[in-house]
Structure 1
Amino acid sequence: MTDSSQAAVPDVISLPASRSWLGPLMVLSGGVCIGFAPIGLRIGVEQFGNELGPQAIAMWRYIFATPILFALVLLIRRRLPRPPNLFIILAGTFFAIDIGLWHWALTMTSVSNATFIVNLGNVCAGLVAWFFLRERPANVWFVAAALAVAGAAALSLGGPGLHNGGLKGDLFALAAACFVAGYMLCSKLGRRNLSGIEAIFWLSVTESIVAFLMVQLAGERPVPLTPNGFIIPLLLAVVAHVMGQGLIVSGLGWTRTSVAGILVLSQPVVAAAVAWKLFEEPLTALQAAGAATILVAVWLAQRERAPRNQAA
């Protein structure tokens, strides 16, 4: 599916130097939108838990997003989406498995452990891209990565009343982190001959199929008992998926994978801030320091110049 005829399609543009900030800004904005995903999942499980389980919520998030993205492809590209390439299919599979494993990890270990371990995958994406794509990060990235890991640890593990998570749950979270890195890498490769909106559409199609299999594996009810069960998945489809994942995948065309991995760490900062306001969960001093450290890492990471000549 990645033959030369597809690669030759004239759908590549260059990002002007004066707009080299656009790609990182899109990835950062996508991370902000995805920060609402754990909030939506928590509301869905707490208030509509009798309707859908966490795996089913993820599945319907992808399903609802797919027709919206298809309409956007027709509107923006004014044609049907080009066939997906192998890397996009792999990226969609990795993303769906990542979310599924993280949801399972949350039931076996502490939320702090699971969140911290999974977020390590975003940082490791830079090292994976260095190995496979020869995208050696700039020296400032290593400083940003160290700050990001330290900040994520403080934000996730610095709350009161935390308990040690079970080893099995931590291993599930570690596996999810590996799939995060694979998702970022394959999304980057898949964007080489697909536009951003086409890529996210095919990602959603793949994720819907994989998530359905995971719902069956988890033994959850695939369809809610009442229409109210669709409310949270629909909101997640628009905010976290169409806007969040769409911005990240589109921005990856103009952003180094290493930089994108750190920019996406705006997600736990947003989630913590919203939880503080919505669930009255104030941050400890250590968590606040962790959030600030992540923001410094994000600022440092975006100072690296973005790559050019990727699909729009």
Structure 2
Amino acid sequence: MSDTANSRPWLGPLLLLLGGLCIGLAPIGLRMGLDTMGPQAIAFWRYTFAIPMLFVLLVGIERRMPKKITPLIILAGTLFALDIALWHWALTMTTVANATFIVNMGNVCVGFVAWLVLKERPKPIWFVAVAVAVAGAAALSQGGGANGQADIRGDLLAVGAAIMVAGYMLFSKMSRNTLGAMDVIFWLTVTEAVVAGLVVLASGESFLPETPQGFAAPLFLALVAQVGGQGLIIAGLGRTPAAVAGIIVLIQPVFAAGLSWQLFGESLTILQGGGAALILLGIWLSQGGVKRRRQTASKPSQAEVTNRA
């Protein structure tokens, strides 16, 4: 990690927090687009619209063409596209809070995998932060929607998505050891578009919306969730241990549940409000939960963790 990154340890968590807020808008954008387009087609156009945006940003900022894609990026992008495919299906069967909570359990699991694979050894306080955040996420998921929308089939799809997102975060993080954030997010999105296109074909959905206005939702998702949210998260992961990052991004269900309360009538109970507060407490506790790499740089087993957005 660079001296600049070491001198600003708050930057990585801040980027992750902002990215999580952007990603928290994803289920809202999806719900708003389902009237004119299927969930898998929305995902496809989300990636497709984001590709030229990311290319222009990369060439404009880095003043070069993208570096060569790697097998790890292809694997990570495939897992993310499958994660979104399962999650989009889940959101059509269960509440926003339920689906987002279950999927984000995969983010928490990344911390345990990073401990074993990337040698990011957590401190005891990290386990407390995990317990607090997971308890909060569980409480936040209680209550269902006002229209009785919760469905076990949607919850099971979300479990599959959680497994996919855990692998996505891990392999994206490993990709950042050899490539910068801009290259990783660009090639991830290209891979995701290809996989999403195959998912649309397999699902039998139409690629095109009923009206041109149907492109508004995926365009919104491309700009806010893909370029903004995923980009910020990948950049933040390059400066933040995976274990801590997995907890920080739990801001997503808090933000998504609050918005869905206002937009879709999925009202929050006192229990859910308390759960949201616990998640925020867990995020705060997690900041001291992993030994910083600059403190353990002399140990050859401590690989520098640089990740994705």
**TM score, norm. by length of structure 2:** 0.89
Q: Does structure 2 conserve the Cα–Cα contact (< 8 Å) formed by 1:254 and 1:307?
A: no
CA-atom RMSD, angstroms? 2.0
State the SS of the aligned residue for 2:82.
Answer: helix
State the SS of the aligned residue for 2:205.
Answer: coil
Report what 2:117 is aligned to.
132
2:239 aligned residue (241, 254, 258) = 254
- Using a 3 Å threshold, how does the CA distance of structure 1 residues 74 and 307 change in structure 2: closer, same or farther? farther
State the SS of the aligned residue for 1:157.
Answer: coil
Report what 1:20 is aligned to.
9
Structure 1: how far apart are the matches of 2:224 and 2:63? 24
Q: Deviations over 1:43-97 (max 9, x none)?
A: 111xxx2x31011111101101110000111011110010121111111111110
How much has 1:266 moved relative to structure 2?
Answer: 0.4
Deviates more, 1:191-200 or 1:111-120: 111-120
Q: Does structure 1 conserve the Cα–Cα contact (< 8 Å) formed by 2:12 and 2:238?
A: yes
Structure 2: how far apart are the matches of 1:110 and 1:271? 11
Structure 1: how far apart are the matches of 2:232 and 2:27? 18
2:143 aligned residue (158, 168, 178) = 158
Report what 2:62 is aligned to.
77
1:195 aligned residue (164, 180, 204) = 180
Q: Deviations over 1:234-276 (max 9, x none)?
A: 1111111101000001111111111111111101111122223
Q: Does structure 2 conserve the Cα–Cα contact (< 8 Å) formed by 1:87 and 1:190?
A: yes
Q: Does structure 1 conserve the Cα–Cα contact (< 8 Å) formed by 2:173 and 2:306?
A: no
Report what 1:286 is aligned to.
271
Q: Does structure 2 conserve the Cα–Cα contact (< 8 Å) formed by 1:200 and 1:249?
A: yes
Q: Does 1:180 align with 2:165?
A: yes
Report what 1:101 is aligned to.
86
Aligned identity (percent) is: 58
Q: Deviations over 1:134-180 (max 9, x none)?
A: 212222111111111111111112346657633x4433222111111
- Structure 1 runs (4+) deviating above 6 angstroms are none
Structure 2: how far apart are the matches of 1:22 and 1:183? 22
How much has 1:207 moved relative to structure 2?
Answer: 0.5
Report what 1:52 is aligned to.
37
- Using a 3 Å threshold, how does the CA distance of structure 1 residues 307 and 204 change in structure 2: closer, same or farther? farther
Please tell me the residue identity of whatever aligns with 1:26: L
Q: Does structure 2 conserve the Cα–Cα contact (< 8 Å) formed by 1:20 and 1:306?
A: no
Q: Does 1:270 align with 2:259?
A: no
Structure 2: how far apart are the matches of 1:255 and 1:311? 8
Q: Does structure 1 conserve the Cα–Cα contact (< 8 Å) formed by 2:145 and 2:266?
A: no
1:237 aligned residue (222, 228, 233) = 222
State the SS of the aligned residue for 1:31.
Answer: helix
Report what 1:89 is aligned to.
74
Please tell me the residue identity of whatever aligns with 1:117: I
